[in-house]
Every structure is written in C-alpha cells, then in structure tokens.
Structure 1
Amino acid sequence: MTIELLIARYGLIALFFGAGIEGEACVITGGVFAHRGVLSLPAAMVAAALGSFAADQVLFLLGRRYRNLAWVRRLHDKPAFARAIAMIEQHPNRFIFVFRFLYGLRTVSPVAIGTTKIPARRFLLINALAAIIWAIAFTTVGFVFGHALEALLGELLTPVNIAIVVAVIAVLAAVIWLVRRSRNRASDTTR
C-alpha cells in the first residue's frame, strides 16, 4: 500500500487524534494534504474540529471530576495553570474561546477551566464554536501553504516527502516532550 493510499484511508482518523493531542502542526499538515488532493478540505476541517473539541471536552471533564487527584494538583503548581486561572477570572468567555490559540496554555487550559465554577454547558458551546474556527483557520493555512510550497518546490512536494517531514517533526516533538517530562519529574523529586 502506498503512502498516498494510507493517508487517504487513515488520514482523517490521524487528523482527528492529531488535532486533539498535538494541535496546529497536524492540522496544518492536514490542510497541505487537502491541497495535494489526498484528503478533502472540508473533511479535514471537520476531523480537526471534532478532534480538538473532543480532547478539550475530555480535559475539561477530567479537571471538573478529578480536581483533587495528584496530577491535577501538580498542574496547579505550573506557571501556565496560574496564568490560565488569572485569565479565566478576568474574561471567562473570551478565554474559553481563545485558549487554543495561545501557545503554552493549550493543554492546561481545559483542565483549569474544569476546576472553576464555569458551567459545563457554557464551556461546551464556546468550545465547539472555537474548535470549528480554529480548525478552519489552521487547515486553511495548510491548504494555502501547500499552494506556496508547490510553487516554490514543485516536484519535491510529494506525499512521501510530506510524510517524511511530518514523521521527523513528530519524532522531534516526542523527544522534546520526553526531555521536558524528565526535567519536570526531576524537579518534582528535588522539592
């Protein structure tokens, strides 16, 4: 099976999970694949919106239900969590709408919001609208970026080359995550 067939068959599923776990890079890549005709642009937008929405809903519910668990309490000690709480207190609805666009706050924000008294229904509605806008924006960037790359690189922009770049980015992201995780654990044990 060729890489194009794999992406065509499983790309939307990967985009759904990638939007929820990693975020922008996966969604932009989905837009690039839509530009190449491997994925449908509207389908990529829907998969990205649903993945982002679902991940944030799960994190919100975990923060709401398990606010006293150790991992949530550890998040409380993080500067990003404190920044998120401060922003929630100032402008709760705006913050719910924009947190996914704020670097460094994307993952902790739904958990932080879950620990507040913001009604679950309000979070659900604003989160859904924000996920749709976010997905449309970043898949469109990938789609347009695909046009620009094709103009610059021409024949070098193949699904195989894109998949290689995506794999390298994923490996680098995983290495960075593991290094940060080990540093956080090391700093937690020294306290």
Structure 2
Amino acid sequence: MYSKAKIAGHPLHPMLVAYPVAGYTGTLVGLAVYASNGQQFWLNFAIAMNIAGVGGALLAALPGATDLWFGIPRGSRAQRVGRAHAAMNVVALGLFGAVLGTYVQHWDGPPPSRGTTLGLALSSGGLLATMTAGFLGWMLVQTYHVGVTLNTAQEAQEWQADTSGARHRTGPVM
C-alpha cells in the first residue's frame, strides 16, 4: 500500500474524492437547468454546489499529494500516472474556480450579463477533466494497487508476475 495519509488503515484520498465529483456535477446540472428555465433557485444551487466542489477538491488534494509525493516510488510508472491524475484535477479545479468567480456574486441576481454560456462551457470542460482524472485514479488502484492492502500470497504473486513481465508493478507494497 502506497498511501501515507490514512485513517484506521484506510487511505483518506479515495474517501474524499466523491465530494468534488458530486459538487462539480451539481454545478453543471444547476447551470443547465438555470439556462433552460431562468429560475434563480437553480443558479443558487449551481453556486452552492460549486463552492462544495471546489472546497472538496482542495480538501481531497492534501492527502492525494501526500500519497503521490511520499508514498509512490519516484520515477515509477505509478508516479507518472499519479502526476497526470493530479494535473487533470488541477485543470478541473481551475475551470470550476473560474465558474465560481463568475457567478458567486450573483446569488441574489441578476445573472451575469453573458448568461450561462461561459459557465456551461467551463463546467463541461471541468467535468471532462474530472472524469479523465478519475480514470487515471482508478488506474492507480487497479493497475498499480495504490491504496490496496495485499495479503502475503497476493504480494508473492505480484512479485512473481513482476519478474515475468506480465504485470506493471513498480515496487513493493508499502
């Protein structure tokens, strides 16, 4: 197990990533519904979800960065995938941060003069970046077993497969 940020032996980062994913998705949905019906409730919903998503992303980034920089062996394939995962999450955070900066002062209306086109475009791109980061995060778990505790027999199979070249392990399970 490469995770260094844990609670009761469980990796913390995977526990926290659901919050930004839900917040980002809610932002896009809220803006889309607001664009279709113009009801202030949906803009407020999008703003609240955006705040939750950005806050959740910042919170999830702390144990994620700890695992990446202090848990995964340097120069390994897993670390390269982890860096790409982190980069996509930074892109998503930047895009949703821009959405937040655009709409947060319109809680009580009126909507921004440019409507929701910019917000829909930015949050769509941000959600796409989040899905890409999620794919890479799952690759860290599935392929490189980051955050997975293996029993002794599984660990032996990992090393046997590693020496035959059938697997892409990068180092011992920690």
TM-score of the alignment, normalized to the shorter chain, above 0.5: no
TM-score of the aligned structures, taking structure 1 as reference length: 0.34
TM-score of the aligned structures, taking structure 2 as reference length: 0.36
Higher Rg of the two aligned structures? 2
Report the structure, 1 or 2, having the larger helix content. 1
